[in-house]
Structure 1
Amino acid sequence: MDIYKHGIDIGLQKVNNNFFLTMKVKGKLTHEDYETIFPILDNALEGITQPKIKALVDCSEFEGWELQAAWDDIRLGLKHGNEFEKIAIINNKKWLEISASVVSWFIQGEIKNFENEQEAFNWLDV
């Protein structure tokens, strides 16, 4: 039996002296994936005044969204967009670069695409 993995792994990673929010996006995201993500992110940010998050989002295994999940992604940007200082996206797909530019309309911080993790962390760590 084949196993199909999809969703978002969320974590914190310390690089040099800084902590970063890390996310690994896999497969095709569903509305149910976002229903899980929203409370986790809300709880992580609760009580923090003026958060300035630097995030690494690895989309190398990302295949896209279901229609409602795409809307959920926009809702996430509208709700938490002003809390991000920088978002580094690792991807190898042109359509993801275009999607990232659309997402940037809802995010106050900078968004930049990278081909590998080292380049992404170097940019975030500045």
Structure 2
Amino acid sequence: MKIQRHALSIGIDRIDDHVFISLKAQGKLTHDDYQTITPMIDAALATVTHRDVKVLFDATELEGWELRAAWDDFNLALKHGNQFAKIAIFGHKRWQDNITKIGSWFIAGDVKFFETEGEAIAWLKA
């Protein structure tokens, strides 16, 4: 039996007034994945009043989104896009770089794609 894993894991750190979010996507994301993760992101960002959140998104195991999940992702970007200072996405597929460029249209801060986690972290720290 083949197991098809899909998940969106989240880590949220608050250091003084700064918020750091780490995300790891696996498989093809579903609407149910966003139903689980969105309230956590909403709660973490509820008190953020200015563009100060940094995000590290591990897309190395991401295979894509179901249509409704892509819509959920779009809505999340619209809702919180003004709160993000930097979003670093790292993965190994060309389409991920293209999606990053499109996603940057809806985020007030900087969004950039990297092929390694080390490069992504270095950029977030700069």
In 2, distance between residues paired with 1:47 and 1:113? 27
In 1, distance between residues paired with 2:64 and 2:48? 31
Amino acid at match of 1:92: H
* Correspondence 1:111 to 2:125: no
Which portions of structure 1, spanning 4 or more consecutive aligned residues, are displaced by more than 3 angstroms?
none
The change in CA–CA distance for 1:65 and 1:39 in structure 2 (over 3 A counts) is: same
> Per-residue displacement from partner, 1:72-121 (whole Å, max 9, x unpaired)?
11101100111110011111111111111111111011111111111111
- In the superposition, the TM-score normalised over structure 1's length comes to 0.90
> What's the counterpart of residue 96 of structure 1?
96
Aligned partner of residue 5 in structure 2, secondary structure:
coil
1:1-126 map, 5 Å: 1-12=1-12, 20-126=20-126
Amino acid at match of 1:59: A
Unaligned runs of 5+ in 2: none
* RMSD between superposed Cα atoms in Å: 1.7
| C-alpha displacement of 1:61 | 0.0
Unaligned runs of 5+ in 1: none
In 1, distance between residues paired with 2:85 and 2:60? 22
Q: In the comparison of the two structures, how many residue pairs are matched?
A: 123
- Cα pair 2:19 2:52 within 8 Å, conserved: no
In 1, distance between residues paired with 2:7 and 2:72? 13
> Per-residue displacement from partner, 1:5-58 (whole Å, max 9, x unpaired)?
2121101469xxx86311001100001111111101011112233251111100
